[in-house]
């Protein structure tokens, strides 16, 4: 759902009325726009009557409720109103995430969004509503942040979150343009998931980033080719490794095949691997029969070769990075989430 930015203030006023009407002893006296307070101009100033007392609410409205925007607005409100005890500051946006809400609480200001989330505490009034989902999901931002090229940057950052990166070095490592890194940098900074130091850019809260990525990732973007073989799973995985090495073809086991090497937690009956090219030739070399059902071997033609970044050798067989295997497993049936959680707990978090 797309919001018309020209009507945000009108919609915020409606949301404010709906929020305040929950208090039976409160009456809205007036709602004024573009009110000058000191050197600042507040988007809305609401005057409400609580019992026999008047209370003014200074509301700053933004088109985005991302944490960085919320922090800047909250700081500005707090500083502007610190000498006016009769004024209560409120940050408003189409959607305010729990992270942005916590920023407002820390700065001792209220917040309000168009999803129905709010926290207003002044005088005898305490109104709080949390947990409403974002009806204005910024799909364009999500598509940009988790696009194939941008995901290459995320893989590099998540592989070693403790490492600081210069933009040029990060672009070279991820094999993307400087502009792509700058775009990812901006999107992560808005989410307050990227900091900077003298040594360069440094990822913050990698766990939250990985969770959001997992919600916007789907291994089915790769092209699957399904086969059947009479060989055991271990035999076909070993033979695949030898054949790809012999042909100079990049590959990496993933899914349950990858989980079995990193953090064995469930039994599996299908080998799965990324194969970068010549899939039909590899299938022929390995005497695999392509089938529409009953497959016990799946080759994935990568939607982007970035999926092979960070792959490592385990007992002579190439395995996709723990982060990639984790993401792939989350979309798989048959205890995929359980296997993914084991990798997250036993491999990924320990490396962070």
Task: Give pLDDT tens digits for 34-83.
Answer: 999 988 899 999 999 998 899 999 999 999 999 999 999 999 999 989 87
Residue 92, H or E segment: strand 87-93
Angle CA 107–112–118, to nearest 5: 85
Q: Which own/partner contact pairs does 150-154 have at CB distance under 8 Å and 24+ positions apart? A: 150/176, 150/180, 150/183, 150/184, 150/187, 151/213, 151/304, 151/306, 152/176, 152/304, 152/306, 152/309, 153/180, 153/181, 153/184, 154/184, 154/209, 154/213
Query: How many whole angstroms separate alpha carbon 113 and alpha carbon 134?
Result: 10
Looking at residue 140, what is its pLDDT?
Answer: 62
Split the chain (352 residues) into runs of 10 and give each run's mean pLDDT. 68 95 93 91 95 92 93 93 86 94 95 96 94 74 86 96 96 97 94 89 93 86 96 97 97 97 93 97 97 97 96 96 96 90 96 91
**Token pair listed for 221:** 């973007």
> What is the Cα–Cα distance from 234 to 223, expressed in whole angstroms?
23
Pairing mode, if any, of strands 26-37 and 223-228?
Answer: unpaired
Residues sharing a CB contact under 8 Å with residue 209, sequence separation 6 or more, in sequence order: 154, 157, 158, 188, 191, 193, 203
Tell me the CB-side half-sphere exposure of residue 235, using CA atoms within 13 A. Answer: 9
Calculate the alpha carbon distances from 86 to 58, 103, 106, 274 in Å: 10, 22, 20, 63
Q: What is the pLDDT of residue 138?
A: 59
- The two tokens of residue 261 are 């090497």
The span from the CA of 334 to the CA of 352, in Å, is: 28
Instruction: Identify the bridge partners of residue 126 per DSSP, sorted by sequence position.
Output: 121
Tokens of 342: 């084991």
How many degrees, rounded to 5, is the angle at CA 348 between CA 276 and CA 308?
Answer: 10
Query: In the chain, what percentage of residues exceed pLDDT 70?
Result: 97
Please report, in angstroms and rounded to a whole number, the separation of the first and last CA atoms in the chain. 36
Which alpha helices (H) appear in the chain, and where do they start and end? 8-20, 67-81, 98-106, 139-145, 148-159, 167-174, 178-190, 206-215, 233-247, 255-262, 279-285, 322-330, 336-343, 349-351
User: Maximum distance among all alpha carbons in the chain?
Assistant: 86
The pTM of the full predicted model, rounded to 2 decimals, is 0.75
User: Which residue is associated with the tokens 């990496």?
Assistant: 252
């Amino acid at each position: 759902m797309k919001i018309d930015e020209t009507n945000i203030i009108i919609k915020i006023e409606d949301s404010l009325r709906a929020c305040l009407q929950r208090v039976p002893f409160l009456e809205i006296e007036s709602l004024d726009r573009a009110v000058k307070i000191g050197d600042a101009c507040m988007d809305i100033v609401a005057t409400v009557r609580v019992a026999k007392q008047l209370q003014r609410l200074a509301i700053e409205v933004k088109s985005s409720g991302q944490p960085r925007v919320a922090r800047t607005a909250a700081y500005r409100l707090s500083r502007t109103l610190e000498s006016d005890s009769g004024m209560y500051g409120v940050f408003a946006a189409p959607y305010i995430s729990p992270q942005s809400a916590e920023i407002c609480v820390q700065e001792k200001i209220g917040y309000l969004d168009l999803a129905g989330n709010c926290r207003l505490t002044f005088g005898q009034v305490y109104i709080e509503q949390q947990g409403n989902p974002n009806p204005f999901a910024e799909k364009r931002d999500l598509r940009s942040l988790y696009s194939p090229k941008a995901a290459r940057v995320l893989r590099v950052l998540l592989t070693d979150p403790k490492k600081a990166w210069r933009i040029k070095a990060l672009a070279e490592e991820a094999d993307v343009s400087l502009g792509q890194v700058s775009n990812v940098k901006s999107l992560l900074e808005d989410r307050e998931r990227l900091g900077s130091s003298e040594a360069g850019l440094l990822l913050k809260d990698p766990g939250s980033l990985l969770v959001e990525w997992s919600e916007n990732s789907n291994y089915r973007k790769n092209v699957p080719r399904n086969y059947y073989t009479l060989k055991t799973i271990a035999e076909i995985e070993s033979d695949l490794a030898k054949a790809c090495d012999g042909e100079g073809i990049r590959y990496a086991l993933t899914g349950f095949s990858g989980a079995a090497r990193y953090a064995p937690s469930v039994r599996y009956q299908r080998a799965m691997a990324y194969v970068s090219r010549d899939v039909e030739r590899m299938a022929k070399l390995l005497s695999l029969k392509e089938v529409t059902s009953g497959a016990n071997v799946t080759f994935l033609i990568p939607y982007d070769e970035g999926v092979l970044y960070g792959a490592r050798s385990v007992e002579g067989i190439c395995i996709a990075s723990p982060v990639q295997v984790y993401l792939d497993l989350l979309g798989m049936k048959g205890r995929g989430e359980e296997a993914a959680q084991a990798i997250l707990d036993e491999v990924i978090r320990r490396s962070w």
